[in-house]
């Protein structure tokens, strides 16, 4: 269809005005890299993405990946704007991924070694001679984490029968299929509830405080936190200590400051909406975002912390 010169000039003027007023900003899609469906991080990312879209018009598209070792470089290269991964993975990747920038710690991750409820096993030491999922080739820092947790029970790889898996999803599947005597996962993940229902009940192995000195020789950033039985803590039969570490939200240096600032502001104001999707976000707070890690924070996050008088806290 032909148009007149006047109509063409009008279209150009309108297009220019749309750009100048940021009319395309709301339509931009931001990649949000997570673990696979069924993991805590996939659900957490989905909760954040939904409030961003509902409250601000920021279209964050979830991009599931095979593991955190895969998704961190993806974000660093700018192939996705946001990502979630545990602090061990992020710290391990900082040297080779210079453009990584932290947004903050969004939750304390609590993980456990799960066994069948009828197995008779109750402590980490009971895994001696058992088939233990191990390796985690797509989640490289889960391997030292697994070794650290074994060490709390006085065990090493030589004391178990390793069942090599690429990630925690595969480990859970091997357990459910009867090919392993335990699996490792973070609390709050849909996969844990799925496996619990599949095998007729699971139990968390207790981590003894006396074993933490040995664990810290392998992985210094882990710590214990107390938990009680409840719907979130599937497999916890009595008050106990479980292994914990921080879960990080991060981006890259190319993402605009105002986008990161708006992301934090929206998450803080829409916390209840996130919790409705991911109960693990109950502990999320603005003050808890900023911790003293040796990784640069994004300027947009630092601006938010400065304006809200939030100071960096030491890692537990």
pLDDT of residue 25: 43
**Is residue 5 predicted with pLDDT exceeding 90?**
no
**CA separation (Å) from 210 to 207, 215, 224?**
9, 10, 11
* Whole-structure pTM value: 0.74
Model confidence at 201, in pLDDT bands (50, 70, 90)?
very high
Contacts of 89 by beta carbon, 8 Å cutoff, 6+ apart: 68, 69, 72, 139, 140, 141
Answer for the pair 97, 55: CB distance below 8 angstroms, yes or no. Answer: no
The CB density around residue 127, as the number of other CB atoms within 10 Å, is 22
pLDDT class of 7 with cuts at 50, 70, 90: very low
For residue 291, the model assigns a pLDDT of 93
pLDDT more than 70, % of the chain: 91
Task: For residue 315, count other CB atoms closer than 10 A to its CB.
Answer: 14
**So what's the pLDDT on residue 106?**
96
State the average pLDDT for the chain. 90
- C-alpha closest to that of 193 among 201, 182, 181, 205: 201
pLDDT in the model for residue 161 = 98
Spell out the domains of the chain, with CATH numbers in brackets: 28-108+246-307 (3.40.190.10), 110-244 (3.40.190.10)
Residue 98 has pLDDT above 70, yes or no: yes
Predicted pLDDT of residue 316: 66
User: Does the structure show a pLDDT above 70 at 193?
Assistant: yes
**How would residue 92 be classed by pLDDT, with cut points 50, 70 and 90?**
confident
Give yes or no for residue 218 having a pLDDT over 80.
Answer: yes
pLDDT, position 38: 86
CA distance 234 to 187: 7
The pLDDT of residue 27: 57
CA angle 130, 136, 142 (to 5 degrees): 90
Mean pLDDT of 216-226: 87
Which range scores top for mean pLDDT: 11-15, 30-34, 64-68? 30-34
**Mean pLDDT (whole number) for 65-75:** 92
Among all chains, which residue has been given the structure tokens 């040297």?
95
Q: Which of 277, 275, 274, 233 is nearest to 110 (CA)?
A: 233
């Amino acid at each position: 269809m032909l148009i007149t010169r006047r109509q063409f000039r009008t279209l150009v003027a309108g297009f220019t005005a749309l750009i100048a007023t940021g009319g395309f900003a709301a339509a931009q899609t931001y990649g949000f890299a997570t673990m696979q469906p069924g993991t805590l991080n996939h659900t957490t990312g989905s909760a954040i993405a939904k409030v961003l879209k509902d409250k601000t018009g920021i279209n964050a598209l979830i991009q599931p990946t095979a593991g955190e070792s895969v998704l961190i470089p993806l974000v660093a290269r700018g192939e996705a704007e946001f990502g979630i991964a545990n602090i061990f993975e992020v710290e391990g990747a900082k040297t080779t991924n210079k453009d990584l920038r932290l947004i903050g710690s969004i939750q304390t991750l609590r993980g456990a070694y799960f066994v069948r409820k009828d197995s008779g096993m109750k402590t980490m030491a009971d895994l001696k001679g058992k088939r233990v999922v191990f390796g985690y080739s797509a989640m490289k820092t889960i391997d030292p984490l697994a070794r650290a947790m074994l060490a709390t029970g006085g065990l090493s790889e030589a004391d178990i029968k390793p069942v090599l898996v690429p990630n925690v999803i595969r480990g859970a599947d091997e357990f459910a299929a009867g090919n392993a005597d335990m699996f490792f996962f973070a609390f709050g993940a849909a996969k844990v509830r799925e496996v619990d229902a599949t095998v007729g009940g699971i139990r968390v192995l207790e981590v003894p405080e006396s074993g933490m000195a040995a664990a810290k020789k392998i992985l210094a950033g882990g710590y214990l936190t107390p938990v009680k039985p409840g719907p979130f803590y599937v497999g916890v039969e009595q008050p106990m200590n479980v292994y914990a570490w921080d879960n990080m939200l991060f981006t890259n240096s190319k993402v605009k400051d105002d986008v990161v600032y708006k992301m934090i502001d929206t998450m803080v104001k829409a916390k209840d909406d996130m919790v409705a999707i991911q109960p693990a976000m109950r502990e999320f707070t603005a003050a808890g975002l900023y911790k003293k890690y040796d990784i640069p924070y994004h300027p947009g996050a630092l601006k938010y912390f400065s304006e809200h008088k939030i100071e960096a806290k030491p890692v537990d």
